[in-house]
């Protein structure tokens, strides 16, 4: 099949999907709608995309690409409702700064300016707010961004859970044309380090598992890691930070947007023993567990080892690995070659085993 045939095929499939309008079957919002998996995707398509439909929103990338004057910009937003607010390795403040920095970075933008919108619960200790804000300051400095505008609302006791925090971010695009829809058969799939640290850390911090583990959230800004990769590898197709829904969700988004098969090798995926152990207790595949400082990268297959070297050259990518490749068939599907020699489909997450992870 030629590139043009493939592109036409993708456009046809998008058009068919568009006519097959998504519909939220539930009458009420459930936690699953916020989990990043199947329900979230349906909600976004049936409610938000259907109403706001425009060419900038349509790609559903982590950030929208805008042109204003001669400036090519990326714009993104995320709200944070993580519980608990403080956890080993970070708190809601640096998580919110790093998260928005990362959404800009993986879109090919140099992060520049952030907004901060606080929703505070009446009775929240001012001392804790000061700690959160101090972490935001430190994280912003580390990522080279400025928090330039903000907003504070307060709701009555019981009407929030301490603090909810929204950050939006603007960056300048240094590389355009990136995106999951540009992925092609023959490309290689990499992750920048061990997966699931953040999600398991949050579950342990809630005391819901009766185990001790020497584990910290991987929350970190990936702008330098991304810049190094883009400088070294011209054939980067797409990057995503693997947050809610974990690496499995990103792989599914790639498979569906590009109408390709994503084939990954379980043995190649870096997972810490602590994360593997806790995931087993939770009955969840580490592939679905959120990271907050790890990226999934798809590159031209011929440049896989260059990409691996570029990632490993940065401390945040020291344990990067090639975990799989893009194939033609079956389109839209993620296949996992298991550690035991079998093959299984890795679908989008159903339900929400890890609520309020970010």
Q: Least distance (Å) from a copy of itself to the CB of residue 181?
A: 16
> Whose Cβ is closer to a copy of itself: residue 29's or residue 318's?
29
Could you count the other beta carbons within 10 Å of the beta carbon of residue 104?
Answer: 32
> Whose Cβ is closer to a copy of itself: residue 161's or residue 224's?
161
Q: Least distance (Å) from a copy of itself to the CB of residue 117?
A: 4
Tell how far CA 147 is from the center of its chain: 22
Sign of CA dihedral 306, 312, 317, 319: positive
φ, ψ dihedrals at 286, nearest 5°: -55, -20
DSSP string computed for 174-243: SS-S--GGG--TT-EEEESS-S-HHHHHHHHHTT-S-------------HHHHHHHHHH-TTEEEEEE--
> Whose Cβ is closer to a copy of itself: residue 80's or residue 288's?
80
Task: Say if residues 291 and 241 touch (Cβ distance below 8 Å).
Answer: yes
Q: Least distance (Å) from a copy of itself to the CB of residue 310?
A: 27
By three-state DSSP, how is residue 285 classified? coil
Instruction: Dig out the tokens for 103 from the structure.
Output: 């959404």
Q: Least distance (Å) from a copy of itself to the CB of residue 226?
A: 18
> Whose Cβ is closer to a copy of itself: residue 37's or residue 293's?
37
Q: Least distance (Å) from a copy of itself to the CB of residue 110?
A: 10
> Whose Cβ is closer to a copy of itself: residue 62's or residue 259's?
62
> Whose Cβ is closer to a copy of itself: residue 178's or residue 271's?
178
Instruction: Dig out the tokens for 230 from the structure.
Output: 């883009």
Residue 80: which H helix or E strand, with range?
Answer: strand 71-80
> Whose Cβ is closer to a copy of itself: residue 144's or residue 330's?
144
In a 10 Å sphere around its CB, with 0-12 CB exposed, 13-18 middle and 19+ buried, how is residue 280 labelled? exposed
Angle between helices 273-282 and 197-205 (to 10 degrees): 60
Task: Say if residues 102 and 74 touch (Cβ distance below 8 Å).
Answer: no
Q: What is the Cα–Cα distance from 62 to 60, expressed in whole angstroms?
A: 7
Q: Least distance (Å) from a copy of itself to the CB of residue 154?
A: 3
Q: Least distance (Å) from a copy of itself to the CB of residue 283?
A: 20
Q: Least distance (Å) from a copy of itself to the CB of residue 205?
A: 17
Q: Least distance (Å) from a copy of itself to the CB of residue 317?
A: 26
Residue 265: which H helix or E strand, with range?
Answer: strand 261-265
Cis peptide bond upstream of 84, omega within 30: yes
Nearest alpha-carbon partner for 234 in 308, 327, 306: 306
> Whose Cβ is closer to a copy of itself: residue 130's or residue 318's?
130
Instruction: Dig out the tokens for 41 from the structure.
Output: 């995707």
Only one residue has tokens 């706001």, namely 52
> Whose Cβ is closer to a copy of itself: residue 123's or residue 177's?
123
Q: Least distance (Å) from a copy of itself to the CB of residue 56?
A: 4
> Whose Cβ is closer to a copy of itself: residue 71's or residue 302's?
71
């Amino acid at each position: 099949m030629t590139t043009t045939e493939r592109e036409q095929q993708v456009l046809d499939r998008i058009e068919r999907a568009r006519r097959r309008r998504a519909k939220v079957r539930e009458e009420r919002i459930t936690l699953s709608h916020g989990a990043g998996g199947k329900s979230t995707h349906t909600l976004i398509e049936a409610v938000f995309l259907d109403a706001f439909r425009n060419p900038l929103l349509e790609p559903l990338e982590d950030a929208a690409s805008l042109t204003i004057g001669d400036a090519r910009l990326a714009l993104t937003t995320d709200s944070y409702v993580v519980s608990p607010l403080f956890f080993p390795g970070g708190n809601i403040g640096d998580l919110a700064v790093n998260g928005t920095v990362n959404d800009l970075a993986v879109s090919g933008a140099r992060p520049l300016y952030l907004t901060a919108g606080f929703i505070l619960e009446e009775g929240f200790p001012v001392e804790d707010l000061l700690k959160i804000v101090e972490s935001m300051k430190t994280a912003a400095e580390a990522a080279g961004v400025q928090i330039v505008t903000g907003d504070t609302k307060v709701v009555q006791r019981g009407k929030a859970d301490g603090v909810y925090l929204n950050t939006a971010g603007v960056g300048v695009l240094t590389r355009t044309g990136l995106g999951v829809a540009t992925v092609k058969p023959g490309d290689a799939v990499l992750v920048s380090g061990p997966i699931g640290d953040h999600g398991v850390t949050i579950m342990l911090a809630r005391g819901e598992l009766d185990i001790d583990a020497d584990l910290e959230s991987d929350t970190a800004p990936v702008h330098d890691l991304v810049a190094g990769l883009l400088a070294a590898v011209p054939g980067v197709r797409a990057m995503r930070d693997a947050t809610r829904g974990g690496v499995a969700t990103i792989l599914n988004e790639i498979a569906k947007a590009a109408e390709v098969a994503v084939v990954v090798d379980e043995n190649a995926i870096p997972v810490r023993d602590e994360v593997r152990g806790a995931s087993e207790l939770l009955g969840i595949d580490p592939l679905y567990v959120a990271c907050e400082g790890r990226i999934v990268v798809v590159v031209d297959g011929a440049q896989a080892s260059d990409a691996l070297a570029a990632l490993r050259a940065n401390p945040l990518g020291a344990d990067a690995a090639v975990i799989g490749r893009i194939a033609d068939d079956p389109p839209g599907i993620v296949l996992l070659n298991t550690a035991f020699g079998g093959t299984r489909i890795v679908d989008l997450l159903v339900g929400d085993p890890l609520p309020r992870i970010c």
